[in-house]
Amino acid sequence: MFSDRTNWNLTPNRLSEALAQHRATGKPLLDLTASNPTEVGFAYDSQAILQALSNPAALTYRPDPKGSMSARHAVALYCADRGASLSIDTIILTTGTSEAYSFVFRTLCNPGDEILVPTPSYPLFDFLANIQDVHLIRYPLVYDNGWQIDFQSLEAAITPRTRGIIVVHPNNPTGHFARPEDIAKLNQICSSREMAIIADEVFLDFSAVSNPAVSFAGNKGALTFTMSGLSKISGLPQMKVAWIVTSGPSQRQARARLEVIADTYLSVSTPAQLATPLLLGERRAFQNQVMSRLRANLNELDRQLSAQTSCSRLAVEGGWYAVLRVPATRSDEDLAIELLARDGVYVHPGHFYDFRGDGFLVVSLIAPERDFAEGIRRLMAKFEAN
Ligand SMILES: Cc1ncc(COP(=O)(O)O)c(C=O)c1O
């Protein structure tokens, strides 16, 4: 009765079961996986946001497959702020970066075609690709005083069915940016093989290093789909507004195809599109709060790390997460379950993000500062006691 592609194993994993059990007891939880910006104590200008959502123009339906001019104009201004000056014709709105991936996969791939994806990275890719009948092929990121793309393995993973390479800039959870030399190499690889770059820039604005990273939105060296949205930029995932910027060779044909897909769904609601200029403008106030929390939590983490010898952290260039290196005395999953059950601290095991080997935990740097400090204290106490 059902498609093979939906034949997922939906039994909860041991960690989700442990989390459900913990929640059922009503005991307090220090959630160091918290990544929903609307629930970690940031202040929003509620009045301005609600007012923008009640624009009387929302009572008329005037669909534009690419999204309204005013919303796309606001996105173009945002991109200009990130160093990419572009025409609003290059922008197509979607309800999320996740939907943007689906549209791009649909534009590039026949069933069974392949997309290269970094590992470790964001776990949702598997579902996004699976639903679109796309095969994900992983290319490794290697850590040596900082993360780098293993280009030799990346090139070895390319087959005649490879249609594109995903770059998460900065990556979740490794927090590293693509460097200018990486971009040049990706351009060379993709342009010589008729492949596209799919650049996910949802965390681009959250840089922990002094040189601001350049957006892929102005990239011309290969066909490039650059995606971002309000979820992270303005901390408003519930607004369901994101976008794809198309640049580089064959961009016109790519856009014409994307536009038909977008026209088929017309998925972004009129009230959200009308509010987009204001919601994007709200990013500065939001990002100031996030940046100060990221700095405070990272400082606290380093302060606690410097007082012990068992754990360390990997370099963070940007994004909302830190990767901890901990003694691999048991599997990451067992460790995360024990932390939850005995210490009331919830962290993500590295294997959730496809880290090779045990000994990695991922913590969210946007968790409220007190929870973060106490959660890290309990986590480290575990290793000091052992
Ligand atoms: C790297 C990355 N891309 C995309 C998304 C999803 O974003 P959206 O809410 O726009 O679908 C996330 C969400 O956490 C993410 O971490």
Q: For residue range 31-50, list pLDDT tens digits in order.
A: 999 999 999 999 999 999 99
Q: Closest ligand 1 atom, CA of 231?
A: 9
Ligand 1 pocket residue status of 201, Cβ below 6 Å: no
For ligand 1, the distance from its centroid to the CA atom of residue 97, given in whole angstroms, is 6
Collapsing DSSP to helix, strand or coil, 270 comes out as helix
Please name the residue whose Cα sits nearest to atom 5 of ligand 1.
Answer: 97
Q: What does the mean pLDDT of the chain come to? A: 96
Q: What is the pLDDT confidence band of residue 212, given thresholds at 50, 70 and 90?
A: confident
Q: Looking at residue 385, what is its pLDDT?
A: 60
Note the pLDDT of residue 145.
86
Element at 231 (helix H, strand E) = helix 230-233
Q: Check pocket membership of 202 for ligand 1, CB cut-off 6 A.
A: yes
Cα of 60 vs centre of ligand 1, distance in Å, is 30
Whole-number Å distance, alpha carbon 249 to ligand 1 midpoint, is 26
CA distance 360 to 38: 27
| Ligand 1 touching residue 120 (CB < 6 A) | no
CA dihedral 244, 118, 16, 242 (to 10 degrees): -10
Q: Which two tokens stand for residue 127?
A: 């579902």
- Give distance in angstroms: CA of 383 to centre of ligand 1: 32
Amino acid present at 57:
A
pLDDT score of 259? 98
**pLDDT value at 386 more than 60:** no
Do 191 and 222 contact (CB within 8 A), yes or no?
Answer: yes
Tens of pLDDT, residue by residue over 311-369, are 999 999 999 999 999 999 899 999 999 999 999 999 999 999 999 889 999 999 999 99
**Residue 333: helix, strand or coil by DSSP?**
helix
By the 10 Å C-beta count (0-12 exposed, 13-18 middle, 19+ buried), 357 is classed as exposed
- Per-residue pLDDT of 104-136, as tens digits, reads 999 999 999 999 999 999 888 999 999 999 999
| Entry pTM | 0.97
Q: Is 206 in the pocket of ligand 1 (CB under 6 A)?
A: no
The answer to whether residues 174 and 120 touch, using CB atoms and an 8 Å cutoff, is yes
Above 90 in pLDDT, residue 236?
Answer: yes
335-352: buried (b, 16+ CB within 10 Å) or exposed (e) per residue? bbbebbeebbbbbbbbbb
**Percentage of residues in the chain having pLDDT higher than 90:** 94
Going from the Cα of 198 to the center of ligand 1, the distance in angstroms, rounded, reads: 13
d(CA 174, CA 319): 8
| Whether 252 contacts 241, CB under 8 Å | no
pLDDT tens per residue, range 132-152: 999 999 999 999 989 999 999
**Span 164-186, average pLDDT:** 97
175 pocket-lining for ligand 1 (C-beta < 6 Å): no
pLDDT tens digits, residue range 273-316? 999 999 999 999 999 999 999 999 999 999 999 999 999 999 99
- Cβ–Cβ < 8 Å for 90, 245: yes
Residue 287 CB contacts under 8 Å (≥ 6 apart), including other chains: 205, 206, 233
Distance separating alpha carbons of residues 354 and 309, to the nearest angstrom: 26
Output 123 or 235, whichever has higher pLDDT.
235
Query: Which residue in 178, 170, 186, 179 sits closest to 222, CA to CA?
Result: 186
Rounded to 5°, the CA angle 368-30-360 comes to: 95
Residue 383: pLDDT above 90? Answer: no
pLDDT of 66 higher than 80: yes
Is residue 234 lining ligand 1, measured as CB closer than 6 Å? no
